Amino acid sequence: MQLYNKLSANERAALIEAAGTERVTISFYQYHNIGNPQVFRDHLFLTWNELDVLGRIYVANEGINAQLSVPAPNFEAFKKHLDSISFLNDIRLNIAREQDNMSFLKLKVKVRDKIVADGLNDETFDVTNKGVHVDAEKFNELIEDPDTVLVDMRNHYESEIGHFKNAITPDVDTFRDSLDIIEEDLRNNKEDKKLVMYCTGGIRCEKASAYYKHKGFKNVFQLEGGIIEYDRQVKELGLENKFLGKNFVFDHRRGERISKDIIAHCHQCGSPCDTHTNCANEACHLLFIQCEDCKKAMDNCCSTDCKDINALPYEEQKALRKGKANSNKIFKKGRSEVLKFKK
């Protein structure tokens, strides 16, 4: 019985290309008490592996958080399986605005303590006492209200390439970091201001809204379905788009364009650019913004040191990496001092 992915990303990419079948990239989440996450995880893997589902799925006692792609011919079977699970029946699926058959190259279903690393003790507040969900039309109305405080609940590398007009964009590395900063900044306006939050697909705001209500905020709202659903509604209903730039996504695409605005800059030369990449040096793999000119000049690397290492034969690179960790660079997402135009 196969319970884990056995193919490399390159092997899977070759299979996808050979199949010639269009794939659909989607995301969804649901907070729900799952008694045995490991059993549920194994069930999902066995079923979805048969349907050629690929993606990154987290399962915990508190629910499920999924970003994945499924072959278009298997979508109905996939949806039927979701509907067979009581708490996922008729769940809203955020369908990617820009499709890419290579958005995911492995199926990873992992059991975690939480479906989002929020660092909160859920026993200290009622996580079901959530804020008011609003659609794109109501959201547009709210953010024009002078009594509204609009907050981006994402991390710095996400909001750097795209965010709503006039939004507060905390310069943080993690979701947990933003919670206390926002509370402190708004401590004198918990009763008289409307706190309106948004994130990629809604999952971070779901928990944050309950947390802020627990902290004394009286008027808490969240954009239902996040930026992904907002973009869909704006286009389908002909609403004014108040989002600038790209929406960062957590797959190989790294971003979906929401407006033509380019609000970020290449971290190496400073020219207008909002394309994220990972440093080609496997010992670094730093996430940063790089324009096409710098990509060519730097061989897709973040620094001359990485460029030199990346030019070495593979076995020499492997020897240099042995016994060394690079997670600090990876998870700082563009904080490296070698990036002279990081703002």
Burial zone of 6 (CB within 10 Å; 0-12 exposed, 13-18 middle, 19+ buried): exposed
Indicate if 199 belongs to the active site. yes
CA dist., res. 299 & res. 322, Å (int) = 23
Amino acid at 11: E
Spell 226-252 as b/e; 16+ CB within 10 A means b. Answer: bbbbbbebbeeeeeebbbbbbbbbebb
Instruction: Tell me which of 199, 266, 302, 306 is the catalytic residue.
Output: 199
DSSP string spanning 277-311? EE-S-TTT--EEE--HHHHHHTTT-SSHHHHHHHT
- Strand-strand pairing, 219-223 and 132-134: parallel
The answer to whether 243 touches 263, Cβ cutoff 8 Å, is no
Q: How many residues belong to the chain?
A: 343
What phi and psi values does residue 88 have, to the nearest 5 degrees? -110, 0
3-state secondary structure of 323: coil
Strand partners, 110: 58
Task: Quote the DSSP letter at residue 115.
Answer: S
Q: Any idea which residues carry the catalytic annotation?
A: 199
